[in-house]
Structures are given as C-alpha cells and as structure tokens.
Chain A
Amino acid sequence: MALDILEGWQDCAKVLLTSTERRAFLKELRRPGIDNLKRTQICKKINEQCRKAKICPYCNAHNGQIRKPAALKLVHDKYQAYTKSNAKSKVEPAALTAFRSTFDEIKKTNTEVDKHLKKAMDDLNPLRVLNLFKMISPSDCELLGINPAEGRPEMFLWQYVPAPPVCIRPSVAQESASTEDDLTTKLAEIVHISSLIRAALQKGQPLQTIVEQWDYLQLQIALYINSDVPNLQQVGNGKPIRGFCQRLKGKQGRFRGNLSGKRVDFSGRTVISPDPNLGIDQVAIPILVAKNLTYPERVQDHNIKKLRKCVLNGSDVHPGAQHVIKKDKDNGEPGDTISLKFPQVRKRQSQQLTVGDVVERHLEDGDIVLFNRQPSLHKLSIMSHYVKVRPWRTFRLNECVCTPYNADFDGDEMNLHVPQTEEARTEAINLMGVKNNLSTPKNGEPIISATQDFITAAYLLSSKDNFFDRKTFTNYCMYMVDGNEHLDVPPPAILKPQALWTGKQVFSILMRPNKQSPVKVNLDAKCRDYKAKAGMCPDMDPNDGWLVVRNSEVMCGRMDKTTVGSGKKDSIFYIILRDFGPDAAVIAMNRLSKISARYLTNEGFSIGISDVYPSAKLTDRKNELVTKAYEECDDLIRKFKDGKLEKATGCNMEETLENEISGKLSIVRQLAGDYCIDTLSKHNSPLIMAKSGSKGSSINVAQMVAVVGQQIIGGQRVPDGFQDRSLPHFPKNARQPLSKGFVRNSFFTGLTPTEFLFHAISGREGLVDTAVKTAETGYMSRRLMKSLEDLSTQYDDTVRNSSGGIVQFQFGADKLDPVDMEGSAVPVHFDRTWTHAENLTWNNDDRCLLPYEIKIECEKLLANQKSKYARKGLLRQEPLEYLDQSDYAIDELESARDFVATITKYVGGLAEKMAKARMRAGLKDFVDAPKKSNERHDKSKEETARRDQVERVAKVSQATLKMFVSLCLDKYAKAHVEPGHAVGAVGAQSIGEPGTQMTLKTFHFAGVAGMSITQGVPRIKEIINASKVISTPVITCPLLNRVEETAAKVVKGRIEKTYIGDVLRFIEDMWSAKAATMCLSVDMDLLNSMHLGITVGHMANAIVANKKLKIKSNDISLVNDCIFVRITHESGGNMGARGPSSKKLDEPGSDLLLRVNFLRRVLPTLAISGYPDATRAIIQKDKNDEHTVLVEGYGIKACMTTEGVIGTKCTTNSVMECFQVLGIEAARTTIAKEIAGVMGDMGIDPRHMQLLADVMTYKGEVLGITRFGLSKMRDSVLQLASFEKTPDHLFDAAAGMKTDQIEGVSECIIMGQTMGVGTGGFKVVQSLEKPNQPLLVGMKTTQFEDAWRWEQTERKKLR
C-alpha cells in the first residue's frame, strides 16, 4: 500500500530486462563491499530502464505506465505506447483489440460506455498485485533491492491487519465513560466493515455493494497507517485521527520528540536572577530545589561522617538525603533502596550506614550541575557550574555569564540538570565548565566577560579623576578579594603633599594583588572611542583612550567595553586567560564583579529626568538645525515639482528626491546628537553608559535629549498608507519631512500623535522582523547541524564523518582550533606577545643585540623546530630543500613551516627597526654580520649616550628573544585541534548562531547604480541549499587593462547583448506587386565604435540563424551598409499573427502586410552579439580609478573567454555554475568565499566556513544542506528519519531491508549509545594474539597473589 509502485512488471512477473542487462545489473549488485548508497543508485537505474521497456522480453506482453487515478487505485496503462504515438504507421496491437472486444457485450446495452472506451485500463487491484508479487523470482527480488530471503515483495502487502497491544493504544478512563485511542476506534471500524463484507458475501449481495465496501475497507486501513494519505478528499469531519505515521512524524513525533530528545529526571527549571557576589562558575540553587535534586554519593571513609548526618536529616532538612541504597548483596543482587521520607528510619539508617552504600543526598555546595537556557543555539548555551545552595526561589548567576546564554532577568527561566555519576561530572566540568568556555569557538573571542554595570563601574573607577587615601584605597582592595588574599599595597601615586592612590591602581591590584601572583598582564590596546591623532603618541590621548598595562600595572587608559567587556581580543580578561590560564581570568572577573557592585552601591549610579533635560542652547541649536533642514527639503521638493532636480545616477526622479531628503534629515540628527553629546556634563549617567559601552549608544542619548529623528520602515521613509499620503492629517502628495515620519521632538519633549504613530510603526516592523527571522534561522541551524553533526577530527589529523569518509585531510588546512586563535584567524598576536616577553624578561643590565645578531639568534632558536619539519620526498623519503615549493615537495607540514616563517619575519622586522634606530643615531646599522675584523662592533668607539638612545627605543635582548620564540611556539602547539573534537557540530553552531543576529537586508554595490546583491539570511540559504537559480548572480571579470575606461567599455559591450535596433539608422519597406523588401540601414560608425568585431554580414547571419523568423538565406542581400530582406508569399513562415484565428486569414495582401509589420517589430529586438544568459554588464570603478566589469547573470564560461578579460581570475557568485564550468574545487572555494562574504562582519573563523564548503563538496558534486543532499552524504536510516520525512525513510528502509551501523551521532542518541566523537572518539584495542603466546582471553593471572602463592609453594618445598 504505502509501497512505491513496482514498475517494470508484466503478467509473467519478470523484470523487464533482457537477460544480458539482467546479468550485468545482478553482477553489479552482488559485488562485495558495496554500500547502501550505491545499491539504491543501481536500483534506481534498473527501475528507469524497466520503465522504458515497452514489451516484455519474456512473454511479449505490453508495458505502459502505472498510474494512480485515485488515492488507493492503481491502474496499468498497458498500451500507452500505442495510444500516445502519433505515428501514422502505428498498428493496433492484437492484445488491445482483444481487450477492447471484451467491452462489446456491454456496449450493446449501454451506449454511454463507448465514449469512455479509450480510457479503459487494466485495474491492478490488491489481489492481482499480490498474486503477481508471489510469482517474482528470488533473483528478480535482488534487482528490486529486496532481500528475497528476509522480505519477499508479497510480505509488504498486508494480508492480515496487525493490532498493537493495548499499551500502545491505552484507553483513558473518565468518570463515567472511557475514551478510546484513535487506533482502537480505527481498528473497531475495520473489524466492523470486515464483518459487513463477510455478511454480504454470505448473503450474496450485488457485486457493486461488495466492491464499494471493499474499497472502503481499503481506505480505512490506509487511514489506520497514515491518516493524511495524499490525494484523498476526505470530508472534513472534525480532527483527523492519529495514524501510525502521525505518531512518528514531526517535532512532537516519536523520532524527534521521544527518541532524539527525552524527558529526564534530576532536572529543574525556574526563574533566574542576578547575583554579582557569586563566582562566574557558580550557580545559586534554592534550598527547595536542592532538596529535590539528589546526587548518589558512595559512602567512603572520608565522607561517612557527612553522609551519616545527611541521612539523619532526612529528606526535608537541607543537607539531607532522599534515599539510601545499600551495597550489593553477597549473591550479586542489588542492594535495597530505603526511602528517608519517614523520620523513623533515619536514625537507624544513619547508624547502619557502611562503606559501599550509596546515599542519594541533596545537592550541596560544590556539586556539579549543567545549566541551560533555550534556544540552545551553540555549545555555550549549556555549561557546567558549581552549586551554591542559597535561600529563596530563583536560580542565580553572575551577570558575566549572561552573554553565552543570551539571558536577561526580565522573567527568563533556565534549566538545570544534575549529572549522576563521577564520570559524567568529570566530563561536564572539564569540557562544559564555565572556566573552560570563556571564549567562543566561533573565533576565540572572549564571550564571558564584564557586562553592563560592571563596565560602568570599571569606567568610573578607572577615571584619572579618582584619588583615594589609604583608608579608601585599601577598603576598595578588600572589596574585591575575599579577605583571605595577601595584598601588597603599591606605593601611592602621589606622595606629597598627601599620600594618594589612583583609581587605576585599583585595577593593578585587581590583576595582581601581591608580588607572589604570577599574573603579569602586558597589553597595549585602544579603548572604545579612541581616535588616532597624527603626531601624538596614543598614550597621551586627552580622553585617556589608549590602554597600556605593564606587568599588571595600568599605565594609562580608561576601562570600557573593549578592555573589560566581551567580544574583543584586547580585553584584559582575555589576556589573562591566554597568558595565565582560565583560573586567573575567572578570579580577576570575580574581583571585578564584586568591586563593581560595591563601588556602585557606595557611589550611586542612577538616571533621572535631569539627565535628559536639554539646555536652552541645545534646544535653540536643534530648532535652528531642524528649521534649516526643513527649508532645504522644501527647496528640494519645489525643484522636484518643477522638474529641475538633478537626477542621481541610476535613480529616477522620485528616488533622487527621497535620497536627498533622507540624507539631509539624517545629518540633522547626527549634528544635533553630536552637539548634545558634546555639551552634556561628564557626570551625565546616560552619557557615561554610552561612552563606556555598557548600555545604549550616543544615538539613544541624543534621541532622549535632542531629536528622535527619521523613522524608517522597510528601508524607506514612512509609506503612504492612505491615498497619496501617509496619514489624513497631511495634505495629499506631501513629501515634507513631517508627513513622512520625521520626528522632530525628543523623547523628553514628547511626541505628537502622528510622530508617535510613525515611531510605533517603525518599532512594530522591528518586532515582526525578529519573529520572522527566528523561525527561518532556526530551521537553517537545524539543517546545518544535521549535516555536520558527526564530523570530528581523528588521531591522524583528518576530519571524517562517522562512517569514515574523509572530509578534510587537516582541519582548516592547518590543524588549528579557532577557539585558540589569538589574532584574527592566526594563533599568535606577535606584537602583544613581543611586548609581553619584553616586560617579563626586562633587565636594564642586559646587553642589547645588534641587528645581525638578532637574526642569527632567532635562527638558532628555531633550528630545533625547523628540524622537525625537514622536507622529505613523498616517494623515496629523500631529503629535500627546506624551502622547496615544487609540487613533488609539498607535504602536510606546510602550515607549520609557514608559521615558523612568520616568526622569522616578525623578528626580522625588529632587527630592521633596530638598524633604522642605529642609523638615525648616527651609528653603523650592522644589518649584516661584519666580514672584516676591523668592522666588528666595538663598544668603546661608540658614544655611550648614543648607544643608550638606541637601546631605549629598540632594545632586543637575548632573554627577550628566547622568551618570545618559546611563547610563540607554545601557543602554536596549544592551538592544535584535539583528536575527537566535534569540529562539525561546532562549525554548524558557529555559522547558525550568528545567523540569528543577521538582518534581512540587501547590500548595494558602492558607486554602481542599481546593482544589488542578495545578502543576509536569504543569501546564506541560497548557498547552503546549493540552488541552481540564485536571485542575484554576478560574474566579476577583472580586466587586462584596468586603467583605460574604453577598454572596460569594449568588454562590457561584448558581454552585454546588442540588438539590431541599437545599431540601426532606420528600417524601410518597399513594396512591389507580389513582394515586399525591407531595408535595414546600419549605422556603421556606431557599429565600429562599439568594437564588437561584427560586420553587416554577421548581422545577416544572425537574422537567418533565428529559426522562428523563418527567413531564408537567399532572401537576404547585402548592399554596403544595408541589409535587404525580401518578403514574398513563399517565404512564408509565421506571419506574425497570434492565435489560431489568424490561420483563417487567406487574403495574400494582408498576409504580406502582416508579416512585414511583424518583422518590423521583431527584427530590431534580435540580439547580434552578447551572451544569452548575461542580463547586463556594469563597469565598476574603484578608488584607484581601476575598472572591473561586473556581469549580472550567468555564463562565466563565455565571460572568461572574452577578449580583454583575465579569464583565470574571473569569479562568479553562483556556486552551481562554478561547479559546472570550473569543477568541484572551484565550487568549494566559491562556497567558502561567498559565505565569508555574507557573514564577514560576524567575525566567524574562516575554518568553519571552509569545513561547511568541504562538507558540501567532498562527495565530488555540490550537495545542498537539505534532505536530498543529506541522503547522499550518509546512509543512515535513523539519521534521515530523525531529520525529515520520517515515515518515507522508514518504509524505504523496510522495503530495502536496510541495516544501520549506528555510528553517527543521531543514531547513537536514538539508541542510547556512546557516540564516536569527543570523549567517545577513541577505542582501546588490544591484540588477542601475540606470536608465541597463548591467547590473551580468559581469566588473567593476578600479579601479587599468584606470586605470593608461588613463593609459598617454593618455601614449602624448601622446608
């Protein structure tokens, strides 16, 4: 029934293949080691082949199409080949004549029949099909992809209706009656009809009734399995029943709802709230929850005292226990479980507690739990925390951890899970612990960092203005340490007239409270609003916008979002994390959150109406600005109405006006905002928040104080919701700012009703956009995850899927983990590492190396590393040159060599700097080692002060260099991706999660009119779906001559289509009695100036080549620059008239006229050059005045071969075309590049996008991240079933007798097994057999006991 139609059958029930074909296919199918994917492909081929056969090679019966006229009917259109054929010579097959003649009898009685006779076909009723199936030979079964031993085709037709046990279809008992399950009702119905049929057969009722009932039974059984059978017009009687298919299908179905995700014990959910006093790796759990969630702790000597107390406390008092599970009995049976709910048992159990028992005790401080907030878009949405049991009713967490969860405290709820074994706990805290997830795997940026108030406090505290006396300073210091930390108070910054410490010194203490602490932060970073000023050292920025930290002492710079917040690699906490480990970073963060909370509590930080009160001057200035802008807009509108407005390139008048007005109005807000920011007091709270980056932007401040500004809806000003106007408050066709959504009031002054509405429209648009986006990106994430979930790195550095298919030989081609990238996609930030090494090893007495010494020293330090990367021949292992770049020499160590080379290059840069400094100081530069002895460096000859001068500026000591190189190499080694790492899942999340933040927008090419390319989520969808047709295909053609614009114009002309009409001077028609002649006069100057290389002859050929015009070549003649087309009655063809009615027009005169008119209309639109798939071409001019031709459309092959284009550098953004023309590698590069282009500003590591590109291409063809692509990537029924189309995959699997290896992630989850990625990625293999040794199976000898026994026997012997 649900089986696909088995086509290619005949009455003899043999596969419609000739015996040779048959043998060939069988051989292919029986080839050993063939995988399921291949098998299904062969079966598909067989099916196709059979469908083509018209006559059975065995019984000569006819074969046609099997059709499905109704939902549950199959008919065989046997003589399709005959009825469909138009050939005159067709002969009615004898069988058809015989078939038709069977109707002769009925024709006599019923005249209606004759009409429908042609439609008569062979009915394949279930009984016939069953009998046919039974006749299929076992070898034919194989050809059909069916295992004849296990599942013969007839087994797939139900001959008996299975009824599941009642636990599958429980009846729900209500007070009086009971409700039966859908399945039960359906079964009852089936039984009922069966009995009706049986009765009818016995009574001998008319055939029609029985057939009707039979069909009805068939329908009921179909509904029993699948209640929404396609093509079934069921009368809408309430809700459809839930058949078997419906139970499996969909998000709530068995697969996705119960097998891939399950409801669990030991979990909790409640509202969250903030608590800065908690550590960032802690979560506060209400006592109420702690009493319900338990952890089974095994009783041991060291914890028996504690657990006794727990047992005594019972289940209602907090550090208590729920159950005691006694240890296993002697006979191996599990011990009893004793509930501690009742006070009577507690005391006895407490006393009887013995080592080996298990106590299910309440959660206590220090337990490990998993904490999660939906939507779990990336791995940081579930992290492991340490428990802190606290009173009240909410889960509490440090605000720093809000970012990864994307949590706020407006009523958010979060989930909590308690791992129940020590192994689970260990894995949880080591892999998912907050400490070990401070930076996002997307690109390695810190994601857990100070937020909001913490940033504000840090900003206020680190101001230059803060001076503290000893009491205050030490008080602040004690705020952040727990009181058990030794503090070395630094010397005060100002000693006299009064000992005072500064706010920045507080941060020095925060990073390094005492001299014993190893944390020595070194950092040079720009703050949020730093703007470089020429000629001024950044340190001296008047706004203190440059942060310098030396050995954990803050030299200058104010803390703000970039230096203590998340998302930037210049943050202090990130530096601590990288250089001193996560523990130090966590401690520092905890200190900041404590001092922030307390500092702000003491100082107070609030916002009030006074903060947004504009000064009179500001109001005046704003009014002046707005009035001026209004006048300018009026001016523009007047010009527009008079038609005097100058058109901008590529826009029409109205667009031009809109652009101009929008520009004017946005400037107003900008100016008013800037003025407002400049004039506000530095103690203004909103301004502090905006400047520090903790919340809001300066635009928000300006909106509150000065002017709200233009409201944008769908990228435009407010559209006309009424006739020719946005609201009836305005005159029609008014384009004035006020009527199109400009809000001149501020939030402080209050909005007018119309302004309020416009603002609300704009706000609503944002909300709707977000809602739409979540659904779209959610599905995208799911698809990405399903296709990449089982990719992991292996011990041989390859990236493979779970069936062992290689996707990449090295992850990202360099084996580096994006989470450990310190720079942008590189593992070491050299500048910072150098500064760090310099400050760690600084000693004023160290000798300064000379430039050439630096280079030699660096080579020496790297020699060891380089020797590891010695180049060897791939075939014979012969040593090759280290820098050999020939194809033969390239090997898997290229990336490592490249890294070493970057170190050398950086150190070379230092040597050069030093040489320059020496030159400037008037000393010999010593770039190269001195060759003659008299040139050697002589200290005494150089002026000491000069040498000092160089040393101050560019000193490089040996110790520093050594430290630097070792730091670099360590970081590189540490950045290697670990074997077993689930790179696929991480990659999918890294692409999916930022997708949720993208806006649906299109991007316009700068400087080119009207050329826009799809961006954002729609574009990502196009790429990962591997769509053949994309919305904006663009080919980029770099030119050989980039400077000359004419060269670009020629190329453009050749690519873009040129029509005859473009080069014509005129068309004339000349008439004679029987014929007409059309003269097309070509403007030769124009044609030549286009440099198309086209002559009049070419044009004539183009006209003839167009088959639709039916102009014969001898009807065309060329005279100079004119083309003459002769039109006679004979030249015939399409007369240009449309529709069948024109056929009746026979008058020759009008005929000719029609044709001439038709040609007159059509000929000019005939393309004579240009590429058919290229819509248009555009010349792009970059800032260097260099030109590139951009082609809208397809046809990269033609573009590449165009003269004047550098064919080897042509690119297209259509992945599929790239694949077809340039091959799979080019497609891979295009995918990676295109995704990077769209997600460029999200800062995703390129390795993730390369992995996605590799997954889409590693099978040799471009596979989309859809269910079709997925089914070609891996052959796992369970994985596919848990993705989409669940029942279909299960039916196919049943028919094909498929097996599932249960190796992928989805399958393992469904089966409840350990998956093969991450910590499940390794297996311990022990060989059972060693040469000359017995099998290593069976009981092993014990080392000590046996030795003891042996010694005892020996001793006995001695006695």
Chain B
Amino acid sequence: MATTTDTQLLEENLTITTLDTSKYDRVSRLGATSQDSLTIMTLDINHDLFPVSIGESLHMVLASSLSLDGTKDDGRGWRDLGGEASLADMFDYVCHGKIYKFEDGDGGDTIKAYISFGGLLMALEGPYKKLTPLRVDYVYLLLKK
C-alpha cells in the first residue's frame, strides 16, 4: 500500500453487509461497515464493472488527487490519465465526484458526509475525527477488494 500522502483524505477497510440490486439493472446499492464498525458506508456502484457480494471486504480510499506525488491535479483533467503511474493503478474501481453535503450524526461525535459520483451516491457516517479531512470539494473514490 502506498504511503499516506495528504491527497489521501480517508482510507478504510470495510465489509459489505447489504446489497440491493433490485432497483436498477446496472447499479446496486451496497452497505458496508468498517472493521471497528464505527464507519458506515452506503454506496451505489456499477455492478457490471465491479461485481461485489455480501461478506466481501473492500479497501476504500478517498483522495483529492490521483497523482502519487501528492500534487493537485487541477487543470490536468481526466484526459491525461493514461500513461503515467497513478494511484488508480492500484485499484479496481475508481470514481470521480463531489462531496457536497455534511450532516450531524446521531450522536455528537459522528458526522455524515454525502458524495455524488455523477448521481451514484455515497453516504459515509463515522467519527468526526476521521471524517473532518473531507471538505466540500471534488474527490476520487478508489475501491479494491
């Protein structure tokens, strides 16, 4: 696993607990919890591209950039992705989207973050200490089994 640079906002290992494939043909909504079961994640994924099943564990990273050296990739755009080595090389499923909303968690110590990858939603609920690196901004989601 690569060294944690400040482009990596969050890193977590989660186990898939629920999976709803009934609503759409290509998209399913999975629910997953971290090993310490403090972080709960709900995520829409394209299961054609990244098939999952209940009980599988996922390694999830939220990063503000895909470059390995930690520079921001503002302006470079998605077209230049090929060729040079990037964070994405190490993962199976990579999304780009926006963190757009935060909410209070149930207790005083958790918060919820909502991220949309072009309509594929991700809801993260976890301890504030872990989630405060996230801010309203564009973000990459990287997943591997």
Which residues of A line the B interface, CB within 8 A?
462-465, 467, 490-505, 537, 539-540, 542-544, 548, 550, 553-556, 842, 844, 917, 920-922, 945-946, 948-949, 952-953
A503 to B117, CA, bound (A): 11
| B window 119-143: CB within 8 A of A | 119-121, 123, 128-129, 131-132, 134-138, 140
For residue B88, CB closer than 8 A to chain A, the reply is: yes
Q: Which of B24, B94, B116, B134 contacts A465 (CB 8 A)?
A: B24
Q: Which of B111, B114, B119 contacts A537 (CB 8 A)?
A: B114
- A550 and B98: CB pair below 8 A? yes
- A844 and B132: CB pair below 8 A? no
A-B contact pairs, 14 of them (CB 8 A): A465-B25, A495-B140, A496-B94, A500-B49, A537-B123, A542-B29, A548-B101, A553-B98, A555-B100, A556-B116, A945-B132, A949-B128, A952-B111, A953-B103
- A945 and B119: CB pair below 8 A? no
A556-B119, A952-B102 are known; give 7 further A-B pairs, CB within 8 A: A465-B25, A491-B96, A492-B78, A494-B95, A495-B95, A496-B88, A921-B128
CB distance from B99 to the nearest CB of A (A): 9
- A465 and B104: CB pair below 8 A? no
CB distance from A537 to the nearest CB of B (A): 6
CB distance from A514 to the nearest CB of B (A): 14
Q: Give the 5 A-B residue pairs with the shortest CB-CB distance, closest first.
A: A493-B118, A504-B119, A502-B118, A952-B102, A496-B94
Q: Which residues of B contact A539 (CB under 8 A)?
A: 101, 114, 121, 123
A844-B135, A945-B129 known; A496-B91 Cβ under 8 A? yes
For residue B81, CB closer than 8 A to chain A, the reply is: yes
Q: Which residues of B contact A542 (CB under 8 A)?
A: 20, 23, 29
A543 to B121, CA, bound (A): 12
CB distance from B43 to the nearest CB of A (A): 10
A502-B119, A505-B118, A949-B111 known; A491-B78 Cβ under 8 A? yes
CB distance from B84 to the nearest CB of A (A): 14
CB distance from A920 to the nearest CB of B (A): 4
For residue B83, CB closer than 8 A to chain A, the reply is: no
Which residues of B line the A interface, CB within 8 A?
20, 23-27, 29, 42, 44, 46, 49-50, 77-78, 81, 88, 91-98, 100-104, 108, 111-114, 116-121, 123, 128-129, 131-132, 134-138, 140
Q: Which of A462, A490, A917 contacts B104 (CB 8 A)?
A: A917
A491-B96, A495-B95 known; A556-B77 Cβ under 8 A? no
A504 to B44, CA, bound (A): 14
- B77 and A948: CB pair below 8 A? no
A540 to B44, CA, bound (A): 10
CB distance from A922 to the nearest CB of B (A): 7
Q: Which residues of B contact A493 (CB under 8 A)?
A: 95-97, 117-120
CB distance from A1314 to the nearest CB of B (A): 54
A464-B24, A539-B123, A844-B135 known; A920-B98 Cβ under 8 A? no
Q: Which residues of B contact A495 (CB under 8 A)?
A: 78, 81, 88, 94-96, 140
Quick one: closest B residue to A539, CB to CB?
Answer: B114
Q: Which residues of A contact B131 (CB under 8 A)?
A: 952
- B98 and A494: CB pair below 8 A? no
- B128 and A946: CB pair below 8 A? yes
Q: Which residues of B contact A465 (CB under 8 A)?
A: 24-27
A494 to B81, CA, bound (A): 12
- A494 and B132: CB pair below 8 A? no
Q: Chain A's interface: helix, strand, loop or mixed, by majority?
A: mixed
A502-B119, A556-B116 known; A464-B136 Cβ under 8 A? no
Quick one: closest A residue to B89, CB to CB?
Answer: A496
A490 to B78, CA, bound (A): 8
Q: Which residues of B contact A844 (CB under 8 A)?
A: 135-137
- B117 and A540: CB pair below 8 A? no
- A948 and B20: CB pair below 8 A? no
Q: Which of B100, B104, B118 contacts A550 (CB 8 A)?
A: B100
Quick one: closest B residue to A495, CB to CB?
Answer: B94
- A464 and B123: CB pair below 8 A? no
- A949 and B96: CB pair below 8 A? no
A948 to B130, CA, bound (A): 11
Q: Which of B91, B104, B136 contacts A842 (CB 8 A)?
A: B136
A498 to B49, CA, bound (A): 8
A492 to B97, CA, bound (A): 9
Quick one: closest A residue to B107, CB to CB?
Answer: A920
- B92 and A949: CB pair below 8 A? no
Quick one: closest B residue to A542, CB to CB?
Answer: B23
A635 to B100, CA, bound (A): 59
Q: Which residues of A contact B20 (CB under 8 A)?
A: 542
CB distance from B118 to the nearest CB of A (A): 3
Quick one: closest A residue to B49, CB to CB?
Answer: A497
CB distance from A337 to the nearest CB of B (A): 64
Q: Which of A462, A496, A553, A556 contacts B121 (CB 8 A)?
A: A556
Q: Which of B81, B88, B95, B118 contacts A504 (CB 8 A)?
A: B118
A542 to B20, CA, bound (A): 9
Quick one: closest B residue to A683, CB to CB?
Answer: B25
CB distance from B142 to the nearest CB of A (A): 8
CB distance from A510 to the nearest CB of B (A): 14
- A952 and B88: CB pair below 8 A? no
Q: Which residues of A contact B135 (CB under 8 A)?
A: 844, 952
Q: Which residues of B contact A842 (CB under 8 A)?
A: 136
Q: Which residues of A contact B129 (CB under 8 A)?
A: 945
A669 to B123, CA, bound (A): 39
CB distance from B66 to the nearest CB of A (A): 8
Q: Which residues of B contact A548 (CB under 8 A)?
A: 100-101, 116
Quick one: closest A residue to B136, CB to CB?
Answer: A842
Quick one: closest A residue to B110, CB to CB?
Answer: A949
Q: Which residues of A contact B136 (CB under 8 A)?
A: 842, 844
A946 to B104, CA, bound (A): 12
- A463 and B111: CB pair below 8 A? no
Quick one: closest B residue to A550, CB to CB?
Answer: B100
A543 to B111, CA, bound (A): 24
Q: Which of A464, A490, A948 contacts B44 (CB 8 A)?
A: A464
CB distance from A55 to the nearest CB of B (A): 93
Q: Which residues of B contact A922 (CB under 8 A)?
A: 108
A496-B94, A542-B29, A920-B108 known; A501-B118 Cβ under 8 A? yes
A540 to B121, CA, bound (A): 7
A556 to B42, CA, bound (A): 14
Q: Which residues of A contact B88 (CB under 8 A)?
A: 495-496
Q: Which residues of A contact B49 (CB under 8 A)?
A: 494, 497-498, 500
Q: Which residues of A contact B26 (CB under 8 A)?
A: 465, 467
- Interface centre among B91, B98, B102, by most chain A C-beta atoms within 10 angstroms, is B102
Quick one: closest A residue to B104, CB to CB?
Answer: A953
CB distance from B21 to the nearest CB of A (A): 12
A1294 to B41, CA, bound (A): 87
A464-B119, A502-B120, A920-B108 known; A953-B102 Cβ under 8 A? yes
Quick one: closest B residue to A493, CB to CB?
Answer: B118
Q: Which residues of A contact B118 (CB under 8 A)?
A: 490, 492-494, 501-502, 504-505, 554
- Interface centre among B29, B44, B78, by most chain A C-beta atoms within 10 angstroms, is B78
- A948 and B24: CB pair below 8 A? no
- B116 and A496: CB pair below 8 A? no
Q: Which residues of B contact A498 (CB under 8 A)?
A: 49
CB distance from A12 to the nearest CB of B (A): 95
A493-B117, A498-B49, A844-B136 known; A463-B94 Cβ under 8 A? no
A540 to B92, CA, bound (A): 25
- A555 and B92: CB pair below 8 A? no
- Interface centre among A490, A497, A498, A922, by most chain B C-beta atoms within 10 angstroms, is A497
Q: Which residues of B contact A490 (CB under 8 A)?
A: 118
CB distance from A925 to the nearest CB of B (A): 13
- A953 and B111: CB pair below 8 A? yes
A799 to B27, CA, bound (A): 59
Q: Which residues of A contact B25 (CB under 8 A)?
A: 465
CB distance from A1259 to the nearest CB of B (A): 56
A467 to B103, CA, bound (A): 29
